[in-house]
Structures are given as C-alpha cells and as structure tokens.
Amino acid sequence: MGGDHAPSEIIRGALEAAPALKGKLLLVGQREIVESHLPTEVPANIEVVPASECVDMDEKPLEAYRRKKDSSIIVGAQLVKDGRADAFVSAGNTGACSATCLLIWRQIEKVHRPAIASQIPNLHGEFLLLDAGASPDVDPEHLVEFAIMGRAYSEKVMGHPNPKVHLLNIGEEEGKGNAFAKQSYKLLQKHAWFAGNIEGKDMYSKPVDVVVCDAFVGNTVLKTSEGVAELIIQMIKQQIPTHPILRLAYAPLKKVMAPLRKRMDYAEVGGSPLLGLNGLCTICHGRSNAKAIKNALLMTQKAIDNRLVETIRESAAREL
C-alpha cells in the first residue's frame, strides 16, 4: 500500500519478481484493493495478507505506530516476527517502516542503532554508504556497528570478499574532521578492516567497499549526488537545440546518456536494506516503479539466501 505509485506499480513489480522468488510472496494490504490489481491468473506463490489500515507518506512514524495497529507496515513486520516471512519490503513511509521494524523486531544483540545502507555508483562499480537515513542522532561507537553491518551486506549481497571500511571525513589524514569524526576514527582504527578516512570526492573515483557516516551526513550525500546528477542532465539538455533539424546532430548524445541514466537510476538497485535488526527490511524509494520493486525483491531474496541477518548477528557477537 506504500509508495507514490501504490498499489499498481508495487503489485506489477511483485508479479514480475514472483517467478524468481523461492518462497511465497505475501502482498500485505486492503484485500479488495490489492485483489483488484491482480490478474485472473496469479502466480501460485502469491498470497494476499489483509491489513485494514495504511500509513500516509508524511505521517509521523511513532503516531502511525500507536494509532494504526492494523497498518500494512505493522502487519508486514509482524509476519517476519512470527516466522511467517523471511523479509519485509516496502516503498511506504521510510520513517514509519524503520520505527515499526525497530519496535517489533528489536536490535540485534550489541547493536544499538539500525542503519539504512545505500548502494552508490562510482567509477569502479558500486560502494555501500551507511547510515543513509535511519538513525539521525548517533555516537561514534555506533559507526563501528554500521561498519560491521555494512561489511556483512557488502560481502553477502554485493559479493565483495573481505570488504574494507572507510570513514567519510573532510580530510584524509588521521586527526582531520570534527570531534565526532576524530573519535569515530579512534574506535574504527582498532579493526583490521578499517581503511582510514575518505573524502566525499574520492569515494566516486577510488575503489571503495563500505563508507560509514552518521545519517545526517549520509542522507545529505545521497540527496546532493541526486541533485548534482539531475542538474548536469538538465544543463546538457539545455544545450541541445529545440529545432528538429538542428537536433539531428545531437543524436549520438542520446546513446551517451542512456547508459549514464541507467547507472544513475535508483530503480536498478531497487531498495536499500535496513540493517541491525532481528529481521530483514528492504526500504524502497517512495517513487518506486515496478522495475524498482522487482529488483528490490530479487536483492532481498539474495540477502535471505546468503543469511545476511545471521551474518550480522555473528559478526556483532564476535567484533563488538
């Protein structure tokens, strides 16, 4: 029920992903509405689980949790808690999803704050940035938790063996940054996988696996890169003449821009995992289309297959 294009795009994406999924795909929401979007021939592994309420995209997370006990978010998270589902995927209100999963699933032992991990394209492929928006107020020790969670995802889902972790900072050398960054550096330094500071510019050009920062910085980085990419695309468009004859010469530009747009398209990855809880939640962009939902579901299947939550639990027990 969540997302700007729900339920039609969500259900379309689910239908596309269903054949590739190993278990059942539970569609949580208002039964009549969900069923009205389903074709007469539904894949055998799709099932509707009723939830009478919906959380609005701008509703306050904790209010929604208290007031709407039969929301699709609560019902979805509860399915995981009850062992009836392996993971919960949503394009709904990010704050409400994060808060609900936290309250119902609770943190993995020794983890204090959940984090959203975002895959970002760079010259060498993709790196993982976290926290991209789950826990706005954190202490330096929480960045060590993020590092451990990010390493598990980078290895198990993105396929990077023995991933290194960088601290996002405003200088490369040790001792750079604000008090928070300096203290984080000291704590991260105790781990063999720590690779030092990295600056915002360099994460796009150097081969990096995992970058940790607080959610304010992480979310700002994410939105800044979206803004700059969109600005450049707009500026390029403005250079192209509007007259159809004059436009002809610019046809190769389309060929150049297409793969670029594909690399920059959030829908290619589909969703970002909420890490650190006793359950797996994949958070999709509010404006998710069917392709984004499909890719988020496939990625979530990969995380289940590779025992992501268990890996984080084992790493936290060993390293924290």
Residues that bind a copy of itself (CB under 8 A): 58, 121-123, 133, 136-137, 168, 170, 173, 177-181, 199-205, 214-217, 219-232, 234-236, 239-240, 249-250, 252-253, 255-257, 259-260, 263
Considering the complex, what minimum distance in angstroms separates the CB of residue 142 from a copy of itself?
A: 13
271 Cβ contact partners less than 8 Å away, ≥ 6 residues apart: 89, 91, 282, 283, 284, 285, 288, 292, 295, 296, 299, 300
Residues 145, 165: Cα–Cα separation, whole Å: 12
Nearer to a copy of itself, 33 or 229 (CB): 229
Considering the complex, what minimum distance in angstroms separates the CB of residue 230 from a copy of itself?
A: 7
290 Cβ contact partners less than 8 Å away, ≥ 6 residues apart: 9, 10, 12, 13, 16
Nearer to a copy of itself, 53 or 202 (CB): 202
Q: Is omega for the bond preceding 7 within 30 degrees of 0, making it cis?
A: yes
Considering the complex, what minimum distance in angstroms separates the CB of residue 214 from a copy of itself?
A: 7
Nearer to a copy of itself, 52 or 178 (CB): 178
Nearer to a copy of itself, 7 or 133 (CB): 133
Considering the complex, what minimum distance in angstroms separates the CB of residue 123 from a copy of itself?
A: 6
Nearer to a copy of itself, 144 or 167 (CB): 167
Residues 218, 43: Cα–Cα separation, whole Å: 39
CB contact at 8 A, 82 and 239: no
Considering the complex, what minimum distance in angstroms separates the CB of residue 216 from a copy of itself?
A: 5
Beta carbons within 10 angstroms of residue 82's beta carbon: 9
